[in-house]
Structures are given as C-alpha cells and as structure tokens.
Structure 1
Amino acid sequence: MRFLVRCLLRAGGINKVTEAETGGQALEIMSARLIDLIIVDWKMSPLDGLAFTQMIRRNHNSPNPYVPILMLTAHTETSRVTAARDAGVSGFVRKPISARLLFDRISSVLTDTRMFVRTEGYFGPDRRFGQDPHYAGPLRRECDRGGEEESLDLDDLRWSA
C-alpha cells in the first residue's frame, strides 16, 4: 500500500515523499525535519494508525501535534470513522484508493481552516465541519440545553432582548 500511495503521489507531482515502516520510525523522521502531511493506515504494526494519531496529537513530546493527518483504511464503518475523527485525524481516505480521491483529501486537509480544539479527552481539528446557518445561540448540543423546553438559560442569546 505504501508503494501504491508513493506512486500516486509522485504521479501527481509530489516528489518529496518519506516513508516509515513503523510509528516509531515516523516519530524519528518527524523529529529530524518538518513534515507537511502524514498519511497513516489504520492497520499498521506494531502501533496502529489510530494509536499513532493519538500519540502525535496528545503526547507533550510530539514534534508537531498540528500536522494534517489522513487516515487510510478499507474499514469505513461509522464507528471507525468516528474513532478516527475522535483520535484527531484531519481526513479519511477509503480503500481502494483512487488518485482523484487521494488528491481531493490532500487538498482538503492542507487548506483546512478549522481551529484545533483541546479538551480533557481530545486534541485535534474542530470536529464540526461548518456552522449551522440557523443556529441562534451558544448552546449547540441537546445535552447543553438539558432537554427541557420550558427552562430559560439567561446566557442563551436567543432569549436576549
């Protein structure tokens, strides 16, 4: 798969491609020089792509926690996409890959303007892709609203005069 991705990248004009056989080797490379984009496969060993992404995003010794990361996998079930998103990936590429899909995703993550968010259990790009044009207040989630229609939160700007 690395060979195929490298060939697609070179065919598209990306000639500075560095490969790593393991996550540890990738971290060494990242410590030695600036990397613009990481493409990880879900099924890597001994460290899988999900754990590698979490290490890049959350480890205080990470060479670049803000680097765009594309997750490459044939497993595109909603639970896997959600897990990858929650690990901090910037984008998702499904196998079998095509040159068009790969370059669309690369273009997307390299021009992504989402802010990075840090919470107790997450660090990575804001998981929301865009804002709801009909949103009229600070409370975005149902759990923020408490589920009670008759309650009034004075901080809720929808009710301010």
Structure 2
Amino acid sequence: MEFDLSQVSIMIVDDNSHMLSLYKTLLRTFRCRKIHQANNGAQAYSRMKDLTAPDILITNWYMPVLDGVELTRAIRTMADSPNPFLPIIMISGFAEEEHITAARDAGVNEFLVKPISAKVFCSRLNNVIRAPRPFVRTQAFFGPDRRRKASILYTGPERRSFELEVPGFEDL
C-alpha cells in the first residue's frame, strides 16, 4: 500500500530513546518529514502549545512526569488545549482489557500493543487519517466515538443521539 505522510506533522512521545528512534524510522518509510518528539507528556503538552499542534500524536502509556493517559485527558479537556480533536495513537506493553478500556475512556483514537509491526502501525495511522471517527461530548466524556460501528438495533436507556462533533464540520 502506498502511504504518503509527507504533509503530515506527527509528535512522538516516549521516554525510551530506542522506541523514539524506531517510530521515527517507521514514519520516515511513509515519507513523514515533520516529526517532533518529547520524552514525557508534560514536555509534549508544552511543546504543542509553543509550536503549531501536530496533526497526529503517538504516545507511550507509561512515562514519568505525565503519562500518555494523563496527556490524552489534558488534550481532550483542558481549556488551553492546543487541539482537543487531535488524533491520538497510544502504544503500550500492557494488553489487558482494563488498560485498553482506560485508554479508550481517556479519549485515545487508536491503541497498539508492543511489540508493534510496521503493518499494524500503518493501519492505525491510516484509520486516524482516512477513517476518523466523529467526536462525542457527554458530561463524563469527550473524545472519539468509542463505537467502531453504530448499531441501529440498540434501543436501551444509554442510546446516544447522532449529534456528534466532527472537526471542520461545525456548520452542518
């Protein structure tokens, strides 16, 4: 598959220099040239506010100072957030359902479990670029719609309306 990220700005956040190097190498194979990096969530948040916010954020979960879940919550909910709609891909060595659910509930768009393959990495990037999910705002959550597929058959009390927020389509 031809995948060209030459016009996409990506920030990678990881406290492991080897993982940063691996992600940069993978991104360069997809022609990405606008790569920013940070060693923890606090540094990433600060850099996003000082620079133009990236188009995509790739973050590790466990890091000192501010981890990936806390960074995601800050991006989604803080009043000074550089872009609450920022696509976020989280990478973690923990594949337990509770970790995946916690990341999803914080507002992560995609979740990858280490070790990663170039094919799966590319697939997650493709999802956030070519098939972004609309954003949902409730009293307890703001982020990408957690449902991968909308079920018209569900009629329970927790059924949400289809009044979803899609970045760039506020006037529709």
Structure 2 length-normalised TM: 0.76
Cα RMSD (Å): 1.6
| Equivalent pair of 2:57/2:87 in contact (CA under 8 Å) | yes
Structure 2 Cα separation of the partners of residues 121 and 112 of structure 1: 25
Deviations 1:47-78 (A, max 9, x none): 11111101111111101000100000110111
Structure 1 Cα separation of the partners of residues 53 and 131 of structure 2: 18
Match of 2:150 in 1: 131
Deviations 1:73-130 (A, max 9, x none): 1101111111100000000111101111101000001223422111122110011111
Mapping of 1:1-161 within 5 angstroms? 1-31=19-49, 32-132=51-151, 135=153, 139=155, 141=156, 144=157
Describe the SS at the equivalent of 1:19.
strand
Segments of 5+ residues of structure 1 without an aligned counterpart are 146-161
Amino acid across the alignment from 1:112? A
Amino acid across the alignment from 1:9? L
Structure 2 Cα separation of the partners of residues 109 and 3 of structure 1: 22
Match of 2:13 in 1: none
Query: After the TM superposition, which segments of 4 or more aligned residues of structure 1 sit over 3 Å from their partners?
Result: none
Does 7-16 or 110-119 show the bigger shift? 110-119
* Number of residue pairs the alignment of both structures matches: 139
Amino acid across the alignment from 1:115? P
Deviations 1:20-68 (A, max 9, x none): 1122221222122131000010111111111110111111110100010
Amino acid across the alignment from 2:64? S
Describe the SS at the equivalent of 1:45.
coil
Structure 2 Cα separation of the partners of residues 16 and 106 of structure 1: 15
| Equivalent pair of 2:42/2:65 in contact (CA under 8 Å) | no
Aligned residues with identical type, % of pairs = 40
* Structure 1 residues 113 and 70: alpha-carbon distance in aligned structure 2, compared to 1, 3 A threshold: closer
Structure 1 length-normalised TM: 0.80
Amino acid across the alignment from 1:50? V
| Equivalent pair of 2:89/2:112 in contact (CA under 8 Å) | yes
Structure 2 Cα separation of the partners of residues 108 and 15 of structure 1: 20
Higher percent of residues as strand: 2
| Structure number with larger C-alpha Rg | 1
